[in-house]
C-alpha cells in the first residue's frame, strides 16, 4: 500500500527545495518594490547631482529636491503596491491543483506545493506537475509535444520517466516525483531559452516608445545643460535643472500607471465574470478582432442529448446502445460531454457487471477513435467508437438483422443515413466491434471490424446565440468556428446562427501552402473536421494575416491552438492544462461574459493610451519650452524643485485616468498600438502647448516685466493649469461638453487646481520660492489658458479627421 509523504515531511521538503515553479514568484517585498521606482536612469543621476549639491553647500535646496523625489516615488510605489495586491487576490480564484497521496490518502494541493518524493496521481487532462518516474500505470498516455514537438501521445509504463509541462491524454497512473521547479527538464529549458508567451504587440510598442522618449530626454539634457553652461549659469543648478526636465519627460511613471490601469481593468473584468491571469493580455483582449472557438458549450447548450441508436438501416438496435455504453464506461480518456451523456442515459439500463475490461487504446485526435477490449463470458470483444469516417475506414463487415455481412453492399446506405442525420444538425458517432483471441490490443488490431451502427446526439444552439454573435459583430469581432465535427453538422449550425456557410476542412487545409492558407482564412467562418495541429495552423495563419486572434478552448485538443493565439481563453471547468495555458479564464462558458470582458479590455487599453497621449504631448511641449527658454531668458526659467513639484502634482492628477469613462464610439471597434499616431499626437499638441508657453513668456517679460521669482511663479501657474485642464480636453475625441469625465478625474483635477492656486500662499510655497501673484497676472494667465484650451479643442477635431486611432 502506497502511503506517500506525511504532511510534516512535505513541509520540510518544501523548505528545502522551494516552490514547484519555473519562475520565481514575482511577489517582492515593499522595500524592493519601492527601490524599483528608482530604475529611471535620469532619476538616479538627479539624486547623485542633488547629493553633490548638498556637499557643495546648497543644503536646503538639496533636501527639498530629495523630499520631492521621495514623495513622488512613494506615490507611484503605493499605487503599484495596491494594484499588485488586487491582482494576486484575483489570481487566487483560478488555480491549478494536482492530486497527491499524503498521510496515506489522496488529497488535492496547489501545483506549486508538490515536492520531491511526492506520489502524484495522474488522470486524463492533468498536467504532469514535475519530473518523475511511473510506479503504476493503466493505459497511461502522455502528450510530450511541449518538450519534444511530437504531436502523438506516448504510452507510459512502470519505471518510465515523466516530465513537467507535459499532460495526460488518457489512462491512469501513479508517479514518484524526482525533480521540481527549475531543476526539471522543462525548468532548465525555460531558463536556457527564456520560454514563455512571446512579447505582445502592446509590450513591443511600449518598449519602442520608451526608447524614443529616453532618446529625446538625453538630447534635451545635453542641449539644456550646454546652453546654461554657455551662459555662465551655476553648474550644479544647470545640471539639476536639465535632469529635472529629463525626469519629467522620461516614462518613469509609465510602469505604475500601466500596472494600475491593468489591475483596475482586471477587477472590472472579474466583475464581468472572467479572471485575467496575465495582465498584459488585457491589451490584446481589447485589440482582438477575431475570436475562434469550438461551437460546443459556447454557441450551443453544451449538454449532449441522445436522440437514438440506429443501425445501417436506420433502425433502433439495443446492441448499439449496449456496446456504446461499455466503451464509454471503461474508457479513461479526458472528460467530455459525449461520454457523460452516454453514461448518464444508459447507466440504469445495462448490466455492466457482465463485462470485464482487458485493455484500451485511448482516443487521439489523429485516429479520432477509441478502442476498448472487454471480456464477456468466454469472448474477448473489441469495441471501437469514434468519428464516422474513421470507423467506416476500418470496417470490413456490417451487422444487420443479427447477421454479419460484407459492408460493400451497404456502404451507400450507411453513408446516406449518416449524411441525413448530419445535415439535420445531429452529432453522429459510429461504433464497430469484433471478437479477437488476445487480451492486449494495439493500433494494428483496429481493422476488419464489424460496423454496428450510430449513436445520434443533439446539442442545440443557445437561445441567445444569434444575438450574441450579432453583438460580437457590432463591436468589431469576427467569430470563426474551429471544430472537429464533420462539415454537414457545422453547416447546419452555421445556418441556424446566420453565419457564412463557406467551409474549410482539415483535409483541405493540409493541401494548402502556408501562403495560400493565410489568404483563405480571412474569408472562411467555419473550419471543420480539424485535428489539434490543423487548429494551430488556422490560428497562426489568421495572425500572419494581420489579425489579433483570441482562441477559446477547454480540452486537451485545444492546447496547441491556445499557445499560438494572441489571447488564450478558457473556462473554469476546463481540464487543468487548458486552464494553465489560458491567459483569461471565464467563470462559465457564456459569450455575454466574453463580450463584457472584451469591452473592459478596450477601456483599459484606451485609458492607457489616454495617459500616453496627454502626458507625452504636455510634457514634450513644456520641456521644449524650457529648452527654448534657456536660450532667451537670462536665468533658469524654473528651479529644479519647481520642475519636480510640477511633475509630482501632474502625476497625482493622471493617476485617476485608469478610472475615467470611455466614449462608446471608441469601444465599437478594436484598438491597436499605433506608435505613429502617438508621435503625431505628441508633436501636434506638444507644439501647441509650447506656443502658449512662449506667449506666457512674452506676457510675463514684456507686458508685466516680471522679476525672476514672479516669472517663475507665473510660468509655474500657467504650466500647471495647462497640464491639468488639457486632461479634460484630450481625454476624448468629442468636444469637452459632450463627454463627461469620471468623478475621480474631476476630483483629482480640482484638487491639483486648488493646490496650484494656494501653494504660493503657504509655507510650501516659500520653500519652493513660489510667490503670490498680483491679480493682473492671474487674469492674464487665465485668458492664455482658456485660449489654449479652445485652440486644442479645435485642433483636436481636425486631428482626428486626419489621423485614425
CB-based contacts of 413: which residues, under 8 Å, 6+ apart? 312, 313
Query: What's 305-458's CATH class?
Result: alpha beta
The average confidence (pLDDT) of the chain is 82
Same fold: 7-24+96-193 with 274-301+462-587: no
Segment 562-570 mean pLDDT: 87
Contact 481, 504 (CB under 8 A): no
pLDDT of residue 194: 45
Highest averaged pLDDT of the listed ranges 195-209, 299-313, 776-790: 776-790
Please name the fold of domain 7-24+96-193.
2.70.150
pLDDT of residue 540: 92
Per-residue b/e over 132-152, b at no fewer than 16 CB within 10 Å? bebebbebbbbbbbbeeeebe
Query: What is the C-alpha separation between 539 and 527, in angstroms, rounded?
Result: 11
Min mean pLDDT across 39-48, 58-67, 616-625 is at 39-48
Tens digit of pLDDT for each residue in 78-113? 666 665 665 566 555 556 788 899 988 888 888 889
Percent of the chain with pLDDT over 90: 27
- Crossing angle between the packed helical segments 235-249 and 201-230, to the nearest 10 degrees: 160
pLDDT of residue 239: 73
CATH architecture observed for domain 274-301+462-587: 3-Layer(aba) Sandwich (3.40)
Question: How does residue 357 score in pLDDT terms, banded at 50, 70 and 90?
Answer: very high
pLDDT tops 60 at residue 42: no
pLDDT of residue 799: 93
pLDDT of residue 321: 92
pLDDT of residue 190: 59
**Which candidate, 710, 688, 689, places its Cα nearest to that of 699?**
710
Tens digit of pLDDT for each residue in 259-293? 777 777 788 888 778 888 777 777 788 888 999 98
| In 46-124, beta strands by DSSP E | 97-102, 105-110, 119-123
pLDDT tops 60 at residue 779: yes
CATH architecture observed for domain 39-86+199-269+598-802: Up-down Bundle (1.20)
pLDDT tops 70 at residue 23: no
Contact 131, 185 (CB under 8 A): yes
pLDDT of residue 296: 64
Question: How does residue 195 score in pLDDT terms, banded at 50, 70 and 90?
Answer: very low
pLDDT tops 60 at residue 47: yes
Whether residue 558 lies in the annotated active site: no
Segment 656-662 mean pLDDT: 86
Min mean pLDDT across 200-209, 416-425, 506-515, 657-666 is at 200-209
Query: What is the C-alpha separation between 93 and 73, in angstroms, rounded?
Result: 31
pLDDT tops 60 at residue 56: no
Min mean pLDDT across 67-76, 568-577, 703-712 is at 67-76
Segment 509-538 mean pLDDT: 89
Segment 347-351 mean pLDDT: 85
Question: Could you tell me which residue, 749 or 252, shows the higher pLDDT?
Answer: 749
Contact 384, 391 (CB under 8 A): yes
Query: What is the C-alpha separation between 659 and 744, in angstroms, rounded?
Result: 7
Tens digit of pLDDT for each residue in 660-671? 898 888 888 888
Tell me the C-alpha to C-alpha distance, in Å, between residue 568 and each of 69, 201, 373, 546, 687: 40, 15, 37, 17, 42
The pairing of strands 167-179 and 567-571 is: unpaired
Please tell me which residue in 294, 311, 364, 445 is annotated as part of the active site.
294
pLDDT tops 80 at residue 760: yes
Segment 740-760 mean pLDDT: 92
The pairing of strands 449-458 and 305-310 is: antiparallel
pLDDT of residue 86: 58
pLDDT tops 70 at residue 237: yes
Highest averaged pLDDT of the listed ranges 153-167, 206-220, 401-415: 401-415
pLDDT of residue 193: 46
Segment 1-28 mean pLDDT: 79
Min mean pLDDT across 454-468, 611-625, 724-738, 748-762 is at 611-625
The pairing of strands 369-376 and 379-387 is: antiparallel
Question: How does residue 607 score in pLDDT terms, banded at 50, 70 and 90?
Answer: confident
CB-based contacts of 545: which residues, under 8 Å, 6+ apart? 518, 519, 521, 522
Min mean pLDDT across 30-34, 601-605, 660-664 is at 30-34
Question: How does residue 124 score in pLDDT terms, banded at 50, 70 and 90?
Answer: confident
Highest averaged pLDDT of the listed ranges 144-153, 574-583, 662-671: 662-671
pLDDT of residue 198: 60
Segment 575-580 mean pLDDT: 73
Contact 449, 474 (CB under 8 A): no
pLDDT of residue 500: 76
**Which candidate, 616, 571, 585, places its Cα nearest to that of 730?**
616
pLDDT of residue 302: 67
pLDDT tops 90 at residue 380: yes
| Model pTM above 0.85 | no
Please tell me what DSSP assigns to residue 529: S
Query: What is the C-alpha separation between 145 and 154, in angstroms, rounded?
Result: 10
Segment 598-617 mean pLDDT: 82
Question: How does residue 466 score in pLDDT terms, banded at 50, 70 and 90?
Answer: confident
Domain residue ranges in the chain: 7-24+96-193, 39-86+199-269+598-802, 274-301+462-587, 305-458
Amino acid at each position: 500500500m502506497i502511503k506517500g509523504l506525511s504532511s510534516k515531511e512535505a513541509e520540510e521538503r518544501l523548505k528545502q527545495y522551494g516552490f514547484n515553479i519555473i519562475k520565481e514568484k514575482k511577489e517582492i517585498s515593499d522595500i524592493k518594490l519601492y527601490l524599483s521606482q528608482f530604475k529611471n536612469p535620469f532619476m538616479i543621476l538627479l539624486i547623485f547631482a542633488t547629493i553633490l549639491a548638498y556637499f557643495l553647500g546648497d543644503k536646503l535646496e538639496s533636501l527639498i529636491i530629495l523630499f520631492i523625489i521621495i514623495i513622488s516615488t512613494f506615490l507611484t510605489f503605493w499605487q503599484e503596491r495596491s494594484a499588485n495586491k488586487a491582482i494576486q487576490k484575483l489570481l487566487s480564484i483560478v488555480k491549478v491543483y494536482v492530486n497527491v497521496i499524503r498521510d496515506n490518502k489522496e488529497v488535492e494541493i496547489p501545483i506549486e506545493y508538490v515536492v520531491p518524493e511526492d506520489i502524484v496521481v495522474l488522470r486524463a487532462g492533468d498536467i504532469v506537475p514535475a519530473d518523475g518516474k511511473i510506479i503504476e500505470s493503466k493505459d497511461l498516455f502522455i502528450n510530450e509535444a511541449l518538450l519534444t514537438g511530437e504531436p502523438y501521445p506516448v504510452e507510459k509504463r512502470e519505471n518510465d520517466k515523466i516530465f513537467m509541462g507535459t499532460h495526460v491524454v488518457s489512462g491512469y497512473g501513479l508517479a514518484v516525483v524526482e525533480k521540481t521547479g527549475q531543476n526539471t527538464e522543462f525548468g532548465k529549458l525555460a531558463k536556457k531559452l527564456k520560454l514563455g508567451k512571446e512579447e505582445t504587440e502592446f509590450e513591443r510598442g511600449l518598449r519602442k516608445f520608451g526608447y524614443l522618449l529616453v532618446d529625446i530626454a538625453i538630447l534635451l539634457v545635453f542641449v539644456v545643460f550646454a546652453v546654461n553652461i554657455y551662459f555662465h549659469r551655476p553648474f550644479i543648478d544647470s545640471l539639476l535643472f536639465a535632469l529635472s526636465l529629463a525626469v519629467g519627460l522620461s516614462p518613469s511613471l509609465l510602469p505604475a500607471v500601466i500596472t494600475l490601469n491593468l489591475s483596475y481593468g482586471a477587477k472590472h473584468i472579474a466583475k464581468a465574470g472572467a479572471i485575467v491571469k496575465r495582465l498584459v493580455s488585457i491589451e490584446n483582449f481589447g485589440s482582438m478582432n477575431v475570436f475562434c472557438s469550438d461551437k460546443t458549450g459556447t454557441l450551443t447548450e453544451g449538454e449532449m442529448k441522445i436522440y437514438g441508436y440506429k443501425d445501417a438501416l436506420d433502425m433502433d438496435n439495443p446492441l448499439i446502445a449496449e456496446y456504446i455504453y461499455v466503451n464509454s464506461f471503461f474508457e479513461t480518456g479526458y472528460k467530455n460531454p459525449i461520454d457523460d451523456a452516454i453514461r448518464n442515459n444508459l447507466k440504469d439500463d445495462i448490466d455492466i457487471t457482465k463485462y470485464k475490461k482487458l485493455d484500451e487504446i485511448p482516443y487521439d485526435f489523429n485516429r479520432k477513435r477509441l478502442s476498448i477490449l472487454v471480456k464477456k463470458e468466454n469472448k474477448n470483444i473489441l469495441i471501437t467508437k469514434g468519428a464516422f469516417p474513421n470507423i467506416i475506414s476500418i470496417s470490413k463487415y456490417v451487422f444487420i438483422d443479427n447477421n454479419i455481412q460484407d459492408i460493400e453492399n451497404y456502404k451507400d446506405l450507411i453513408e446516406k443515413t449518416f449524411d441525413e442525420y448530419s445535415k439535420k444538425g445531429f452529432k453522429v458517432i459510429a461504433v464497430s466491434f469484433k471478437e479477437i483471441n488476445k487480451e492486449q490490443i494495439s493500433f494494428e488490431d483496429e481493422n476488419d471490424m464489424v460496423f454496428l451502427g450510430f449513436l445520434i446526439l443533439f446539442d442545440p444552439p443557445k437561445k441567445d446565440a444569434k444575438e450574441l454573435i450579432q453583438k460580437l459583430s457590432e463591436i468589431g469581432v469576427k467569430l470563426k468556428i474551429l471544430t472537429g465535427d464533420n462539415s454537414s453538422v457545422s453547416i447546419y449550425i452555421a445556418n441556424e446562427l446566420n453565419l457564412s456557410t463557406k467551409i474549410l476542412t482539415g483535409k483541405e487545409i493540409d493541401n494548402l501552402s502556408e501562403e495560400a492558407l493565410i489568404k483563405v482564412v480571412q474569408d472562411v467562418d467555419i473550419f471543420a473536421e480539424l485535428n489539434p495541429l490543423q487548429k494551430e495552423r488556422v490560428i497562426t495563419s489568421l495572425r500572419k494575416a494581420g489579425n489579433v486572434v483570441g482562441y477559446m478552448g477547454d480540452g486537451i485538443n485545444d492546447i496547441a491552438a491556445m499557445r499560438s493565439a494572441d489571447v488564450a481563453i478558457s473556462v473554469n471547468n476546463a481540464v487543468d492544462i487548458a486552464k494553465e495555458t489560458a491567459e483569461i479564464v471565464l467563470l462559465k462558458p457564456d459569450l455575454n461574459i466574453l463580450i463584457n470582458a472584451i469591452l473592459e479590455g478596450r477601456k483599459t487599453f484606451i485609458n492607457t493610451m489616454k495617459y500616453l497621449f496627454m502626458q507625452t504631448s504636455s510634457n514634450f511641449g513644456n520641456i521644449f519650452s524650457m529648452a527654448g527658454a534657456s536660450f532667451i531668458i537670462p536665468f533658469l526659467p524654473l528651479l529644479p524643485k519647481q520642475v519636480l513639484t510640477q511633475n509630482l502634482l501632474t502625476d497625482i492628477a493622471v493617476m485617476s485616468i485608469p478610472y475615467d469613462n470611455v466614449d462608446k464610439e471608441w469601444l465599437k471597434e478594436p484598438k491597436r498600438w499605433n506608435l505613429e499616431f502617438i508621435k503625431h499626437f505628441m508633436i501636434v499638441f506638444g507644439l501647441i502647448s509650447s506656443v502658449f508657453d512662449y506667449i506666457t513668456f512674452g506676457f510675463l517679460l514684456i507686458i508685466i516685466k516680471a522679476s525672476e521669482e514672479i516669472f517663475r511663479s507665473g510660468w509655474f501657474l500657467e504650466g500647471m493649469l495647462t497640464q491639468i485642464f488639457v486632461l479634460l480636453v484630450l481625454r476624448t475625441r468629442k468636444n469637452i461638453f459632450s463627454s463627461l469625465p469620471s468623478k475621480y478625474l474631476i476630483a483629482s483635477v480640482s484638487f491639483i487646481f486648488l493646490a496650484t492656486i494656494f501653494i504660493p500662499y503657504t509655507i510650501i510655497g516659500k520653500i519652493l520660492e513660489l510667490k503670490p501673484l498680483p491679480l493682473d497676472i492671474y487674469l492674464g494667465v487665465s485668458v492664455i489658458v482658456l485660449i489654449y484650451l479652445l485652440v486644442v479643442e479645435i485642433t483636436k477635431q481636425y486631428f482626428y479627421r486626419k489621423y485614425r486611432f
